[in-house]
């Protein structure tokens, strides 16, 4: 366990792990990432620690929709990188209330994690549902696309239609668009201008308000980095390993790599703020 100062870029870090799913089925679908988040949530759902997982599912092209997953199958359907933000909050509230969920886990981006984290810590409004949020899992985030604009760009320049796109992944400095059976690698600079302006000034890479931050580093392909931010999160991860859902190894050696990314995001934000603010 390492501890960093709380004003650190990465927020409170209680423990860092590299993890991947033990379940072959999950690993098959999530080759690149190791599927640790899916496995962790499957564990939480199957053991009744949470009664629902709210996450985004890509429905068409890059568009997402908030859904509630109750089992592994539904979780797997929602798996994949999220490249667009969904007006998540209100939908999420509606979902939680409709199904009367009492203990939910949320998978979201750092900005959403911040909102939900703040809501949980500081319920300013009676309508807040912070007490129902059991775990907030934030994914590492370099920004989200203004997806209508980005899709239009893909269509105009490369003739790729939204419904052809199967997945999008970040590989080193390239953004890989997997459509039909081909892969298009776009240099990251080329697509930067299609990130939402708000993301360009965001300084939070990991999601400092979350319970667990999850993402990948280049040096450990096939593994997910999990950052536990409090003892509760640590316990969940450890127990998932004990119960045979997760394969876990110590990950403090990759924290530098995560930090490097976070610094990149910070530098980008600083630069953009000079223009935008």
Partner 1 sequence: MGEYLQIDELCRVAGEAKLVLYHENGEVKQANLIATAPVRGFEKLVIGKNPLFAVEAVMRICGLCHSSHGNAAAEAIENALGILPPRNGLLIREALGLVNRIQSHILQLVMIAGDFIIEEKRMEVIFKLMALHGKISDYLLKLGGAATHPPYLTVGGLLKVPKWSVFNNLKARLPELKSLWAEIMPYLLDEGYLTEIAMELKEKKFTPEYLASHMFYGDEYNVSPDAVKTVPYWDYKGENEDIAKEATTQVAFYKGKAVEVGPRARMVVYRSFRDNSLFGIHLARVEEITIALERLEEILDQINMNEPFRTQNIIFGPGRGVGVYEAPRGTLFHYVELGEEGRIQNFKIVVPTMFNIPIMEEAAVGLSIQAAEAVMRLYDPCIPCTTHVVELR
Partner 2 sequence: MEKLKVLHVDIGGCEGCNVSILRAFPNVQDFVELNMKYLAKKTCAEDKYDMVIITGGVCMNEPHIIEKVKSLREKASTLVAFGSCATFGGILRFCRGGQEPRPDHRNFQPINSVVKVDYSIPGCPPTPQMVQSFFKFFIAGDERRLRLFKVCADIKKLSGFDLIDDIVLTGLCIGCGACELSCPTQAIKMIDKRPNLIAEKCIRCGTCYVRCPRASQLLCMGGKI
Residue bearing tokens 């999990």: 226
Q: Do residues 213 and 17 touch, judged by C-beta distance below 8 A? A: no
Q: How far is the CB of 226 from partner 1 (least distance, A)?
A: 36
* Contact footprint for partner 2 (CB under 8 A): 6-7, 12, 85, 87-91, 93, 110-112, 114-115, 118-119, 121-128, 130-131, 144, 196-199, 201-204, 266, 269-270, 273, 276-277
Residue bearing tokens 């999530």: 30
Helix axes of 36-46 and 231-242: crossing angle, nearest 10 degrees: 90
Q: How far is the CB of 168 from partner 2 (least distance, A)?
A: 18
Tell me which of partner 2, partner 1, none is bound by residue 65, counting a contact when its beta carbon lies within the kind-specific cut-off of 5 to 8 angstroms.
none
Q: Do residues 81 and 103 touch, judged by C-beta distance below 8 A? A: no
> Alpha-carbon distance 157 to 193, whole Å?
15
Q: Which two tokens stand for residue 82?
A: 């999220």
Q: Do residues 197 and 268 touch, judged by C-beta distance below 8 A? A: no
Beta carbon nearer to partner 1, 126 or 163: 126
* Contact footprint for partner 1 (CB under 8 A): 97-98, 100, 125-127
Tell me which of partner 2, partner 1, none is bound by residue 98, counting a contact when its beta carbon lies within the kind-specific cut-off of 5 to 8 angstroms.
partner 1
Q: How far is the CB of 20 from partner 2 (least distance, A)?
A: 30
Beta carbon nearer to partner 2, 34 or 207: 207
Q: How far is the CB of 204 from partner 2 (least distance, A)?
A: 7
Tell me which of partner 2, partner 1, none is bound by residue 131, counting a contact when its beta carbon lies within the kind-specific cut-off of 5 to 8 angstroms.
partner 2
Tell me which of partner 1, partner 2, none is bound by residue 96, counting a contact when its beta carbon lies within the kind-specific cut-off of 5 to 8 angstroms.
none
Q: Which two tokens stand for residue 275?
A: 């223009």
N-terminal to C-terminal alpha carbon distance within the chain: 39
Q: Do residues 21 and 34 touch, judged by C-beta distance below 8 A? A: yes
Tell me which of partner 2, partner 1, none is bound by residue 100, counting a contact when its beta carbon lies within the kind-specific cut-off of 5 to 8 angstroms.
partner 1
Q: Which two tokens stand for residue 9?
A: 């870029």
């Amino acid at each position: 366990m390492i501890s960093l100062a709380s004003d650190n870029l990465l927020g409170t870090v209680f423990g860092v792990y590299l993890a991947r799913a033990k379940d072959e089925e999950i690993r098959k679908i999530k080759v690149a990432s190791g599927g640790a988040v899916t496995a962790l949530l499957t564990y939480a759902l199957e053991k009744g620690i949470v009664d629902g997982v709210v996450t985004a599912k890509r429905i068409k092209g890059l568009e997402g929709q908030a859904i509630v997953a109750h089992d592994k199958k539904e979780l797997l359907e929602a798996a994949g990188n999220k490249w667009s933000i969904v007006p998540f909050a209100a939908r999420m509230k509606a979902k939680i209330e409709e199904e009367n969920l009492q203990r939910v886990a949320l998978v979201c981006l750092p900005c959403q994690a911040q909102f939900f984290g703040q809501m949980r810590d500081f319920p300013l409004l009676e309508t807040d549902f912070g007490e129902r949020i059991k775990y907030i899992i934030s994914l590492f985030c370099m920004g989200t696309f203004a997806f209508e604009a980005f899709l239009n760009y893909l269509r105009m320049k490369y003739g790729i239609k939204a419904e052809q796109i199967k997945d999008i992944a970040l590989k080193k400095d390239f953004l890989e668009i997997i459509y039909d059976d081909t892969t298009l690698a776009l240099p990251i600079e080329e697509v930067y201008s299609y990130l939402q302006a708000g993301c360009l000034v965001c300084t939070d890479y990991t999601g400092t308000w979350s319970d667990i931050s999850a993402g990948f580093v280049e040096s450990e392909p096939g593994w997910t980095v999990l950052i536990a931010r409090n003892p509760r999160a640590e316990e969940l991860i450890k127990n998932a390993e004990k119960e045979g859902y997760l394969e876990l190894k110590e990950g403090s050696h990759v924290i530098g790599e995560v930090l490097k990314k976070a610094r990149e995001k910070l530098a980008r934000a600083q630069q953009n703020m000079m223009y935008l603010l």
